[in-house]
Amino acid sequence: MNQPELGVVLNGVTGRMGYRQHLLRSVLAIREQGGVALPDGSRVRLVPVLAGRNAAKLAEMAARHGVDRWTTDVDTALSDPGTHIYFDAQLTSAREPWVRKAIAAGKHVYAEKPLAESLPDALELAGLAHEAGICHGVVHDKLFLPGLRKLRRLIDGGVFGRILSVRGEFGYWVFEGDWQSAQRPSWNYRAADGGGIVLDMFCHWSYLLENLFGRVTAVTAKAATHIPRRWDEAGEPYAATADDAAYGIFELESGTIAQVNSSWCTRVFRDELVEFQVDGTEASAVAGLRRCRVQHRSATPKPVWNPDLPVTESFRDQWAEVPDNGEFDNGFKAQWEEFVRDVAAKRQHRYDFFAAARGLQLAEAGLASSAEGRRVELKRL
Ligand SMILES: NC(=O)c1ccc[n+]([C@@H]2O[C@H](COP(=O)([O-])OP(=O)(O)OC[C@H]3O[C@@H](n4cnc5c(N)ncnc54)[C@H](O)[C@@H]3O)[C@@H](O)[C@H]2O)c1
């Protein structure tokens, strides 16, 4: 029986995200399970083409995973009628020209965030993609995390009453690279190479806040470069010119106030690398990557401030675990499957380039707020 196939060019597949999350955990896992199931019961197979700059690495990776095709000639791969989807997980500064070419070639485009390095570029790409009538999407992985899906369930269940505030903590210590190697690529810490935690993380906070609590209408932020000197992959010292921590207050159109700290210069005293506490009139919840805990007003303790007495209750034990009630697949894979279903159904992907542009709008507004020391309102795009 002939199974429909979609050719997917994966550019930047040798990178951290391109390899681990998109090739291994998504595209190859989908191949392993026999394709993406469509609503009519049929399946569509993905045929990957590994693309990048380093032939030796691509050839080795293709052989290791039994992938037939790889190329360093992305232009030719884009002109191939067998290519249906262009995916980009290159470093951020390399993305925009290739996305533009893929749109011009009439391919559907799925990309890592941020879509581009500036709001005008992202808006232009969104306009071009819209006019071309292709399916366009940008990674919104955090929404697919088990902890945040359980939080979504609480919101949909009306558990919170009126949501007053959200407090997010994201981060961990990224080693400078001298006496212990850094666990993130060095371009992240160079502004000229598209680095910086505001550009990296505010895109995530934009779609996360918008989809769970309401669109961001204003931001007040302070970005900092706490560690000005780091060591690169070759062990050479370099000037870290990009921000490595950002402290932000986000006002949402729902009236909720969100505060999110993002930092690569903090040591973790949390249960997970990202956690959000949501406080509502009826209940509060704390959600991380995997876990979500809730406390209803009927089960809320009544502590009394008294520094003369030791703490007599264990506050953490007073929260109830939200059950999984099902299996959560890898979030990147779940979004890949959704994107492929949208391509097959010839409809738009809900997390599109316009959402990506709003992410860049928030990043730019955050940087402007920090540089100018003021609150910045976001125009509705
Ligand atoms: N969704 C997420 O949670 C998440 C997490 C981390 C990174 N990202 C995004 O994924 C993208 C890739 O990040 P990464 O951490 O995998 O980076 P990485 O440095 O590990 O990989 C970068 C990839 O781009 C390629 N590349 C193309 N042109 C290059 C050039 N001129 N210099 C260096 N490399 C070049 C590299 O060969 C490599 O394949 C970034 O846009 C980043 O913002 C997303």
CA of 35 to the centre of ligand 1 (A): 26
User: Residue 207 and residue 287: Cα distance in Å, rounded?
Assistant: 16
Q: Clarify whether residues 177 and 299 are in a common domain.
A: yes
Q: Clarify whether residues 39 and 124 are in a common domain.
A: yes
CA of 289 to the centre of ligand 1 (A): 22
Closest C-alpha residue for ligand 1 atom 4? 17
Please determine, for residue 64, whether its predicted confidence score (pLDDT) is greater than 90: yes
Tally of structural domains, the chain: 2
Q: Is 335 contained in some domain?
A: yes
Tell me the residue range of the domain where 23 lies: 5-141+331-352
Cβ atoms of residues 8 and 48 within 8 Å: yes
Q: Clarify whether residues 48 and 83 are in a common domain.
A: yes
Residue 3 pLDDT level (bands cut at 50, 70, 90): confident
Which are the contacts of 165, defined by CB distance < 8 A and separation ≥ 6? 256, 257, 258, 259, 278, 279
How much is the mean pLDDT over the chain?
A: 97
Q: Is 381 contained in some domain?
A: no
Q: Clarify whether residues 310 and 341 are in a common domain.
A: no
- In this predicted structure, what is the pLDDT of residue 2? 67
User: Residue 49 and residue 24: Cα distance in Å, rounded?
Assistant: 13
Q: Which helix (H) or strand (E) segment is 364 a member of?
A: helix 353-372
What predicted TM-score, i.e. pTM, was given to this entire model? 0.96
In 3-state terms, what secondary structure has residue 33? coil
Q: Clarify whether residues 101 and 196 are in a common domain.
A: no
Q: Clarify whether residues 68 and 163 are in a common domain.
A: no
- Give the model confidence (pLDDT) of 308-355 as tens digits: 999 989 999 999 999 999 999 999 999 999 999 999 999 999 999 999
CA of 259 to the centre of ligand 1 (A): 27
Q: Please give all residues whose beta carbon lies within 6 A of any atom in ligand 1, as ranges.
A: 12, 14-18, 52-53, 89-92, 94, 112-113, 139, 141, 185, 200
In a mutational test of the pocket of ligand 1, which residue from 90, 148, 204 has the highest number of ligand atoms less than 8 Å from its CB? 90
Q: Clarify whether residues 94 and 174 are in a common domain.
A: no
Can you tell me which atom of ligand 1 is nearest the CA of 90? Answer: 24
Q: Clarify whether residues 97 and 40 are in a common domain.
A: yes
Q: What is the CATH number of the domain that holds 111?
A: 3.40.50.720
CA of 94 to the centre of ligand 1 (A): 9
Q: Clarify whether residues 208 and 125 are in a common domain.
A: no
Q: What is the bridge-based pairing of β-strands 216-224 and 245-252?
A: antiparallel
- Give the model confidence (pLDDT) of 205-233 as tens digits: 999 999 999 999 999 999 999 999 999 99
